[in-house]
Structure 1
Amino acid sequence: MAFQALGELLDETLALPIKDKTYTIPPPSAATGLRVQAIMQAAAVAADGGQVDEAVLADAAERDMYRDVLGTAHAEMVADGVTWPVLKHCAVTSMVWIVQDKGAAERYWNSGGDPSRLAPNRKQRRSSPAAASKTQSRGSTSGTNSRPAKSAGGKKAAPRA
């Protein structure tokens, strides 16, 4: 068995539909991918109240991150007059794709960027097969004991009538 060409195995683009047009986000360069990974990691550390590497954030400020993550689609969106919130949502969706995968990017896109819409609601969590397999049944609360109690001498007590 030989390795297949990677281009045949990976779909390296992200298609984002906006109104009546679909923009194709090309794969980021390795340098962009690594930079996005570092920035997202720094953002997660900062969100948790940790110490952030200032050099990573300064690097991000120096470069046009949205242009980098959107690639050729950035100029196309600007030329088409896409609004700032839409461009920003596309860029953050692309960052999620770069850092995680297409599935996570799709969930982010479909949530409209609203974190509360990313988490499944209680009904969905309870109805999932995973929830059913992880939930342990509660023990009996009737107060009865299936084993006869032992008497003070270590012998089983006579059952009550």
Structure 2
Amino acid sequence: MAFKEIGQLLNDGLHLPIGERTYTVPAPSAETGLRVQAIINAAAVAADGGEADEQVLADAAERDLYRDALGAAYDEMIADGVTWPELKHCAITAMVWIAQDTEAAERYWDAGGDPSRLAPNRETRRAQARSGAASSTPNRGSSSGTNTRPVPGPGAATQPTG
């Protein structure tokens, strides 16, 4: 069995619809992909309260990250007069695609960039809880090591059975 040519295995880009037009974001260069991945990782660390790599974030500020993430689609969007929120949403969607995959980018796109819309809604969570789908892990018992019934001490009288 031989390896297939890699172009047959990978998708040709990300297709983002805005109004009547669909923009194709081409696969980024390896350099852009590595930089986007590093920036997203640094941002995640910072969001979790850790210390982000200042050099990575400084490098991001030096370059036009949105232009790099969108590739040729960036110039097309600017020429077509897309709005700032549309351009920003497209660029962040492209960054999610670069750092993760198409499915994650679609979830981000469909949520309108709102993280609260990425999580299941309350009714879905309740339905999962009712069906037992929310957690397959049984509840833990007490780990305190204490017993709920007192254990008779030495020399305690026992009652006759009868």
Equivalent residues of 2:125, 2:134 under 8 A apart: no
Aligned to 1:4: 4
Matches within 5 A, 1:105-144: 105-127=105-127, 131=133, 134=136, 136=138
Aligned to 1:25: 25
State the shift of 1:58 in Å. Answer: 0.7
Task: List per-residue Cα deviations over 1:124-146 (Å, max 9, x = no partner).
Answer: 24545881672659xxxxxxxxx
State the shift of 1:50 in Å. Answer: 1.1
CA distance in 2, matches of 1:34, 1:130: 40
Residues 130, 9 of structure 1: alpha-carbon distance in 2 compared, 3 angstrom cutoff: farther
Matches within 5 A, 1:9-158: 9-127=9-127, 131=133, 134=136, 136=138
Gaps of 5+ in 2: 140-156
Residues 56, 8 of structure 1: alpha-carbon distance in 2 compared, 3 angstrom cutoff: same
Give the TM-score, by structure 2 length.
0.79
Equivalent residues of 2:33, 2:98 under 8 A apart: yes
Deviating beyond 6 angstroms after TM superposition, the runs of 4 or more aligned structure 1 residues are none
Gaps of 5+ in 1: 138-151
Q: RMSD value over aligned CA atoms?
A: 2.5
Identity within the alignment, %: 68
Q: Which moved more, 1:57-66 or 1:125-134?
A: 125-134
Aligned to 1:142: none
Aligned residue pairs: how many? 144
Equivalent residues of 2:66, 2:91 under 8 A apart: yes
Residues 130, 19 of structure 1: alpha-carbon distance in 2 compared, 3 angstrom cutoff: farther
Q: Aligned partner of 1:131: which letter?
A: A
CA distance in 1, matches of 2:16, 2:126: 31
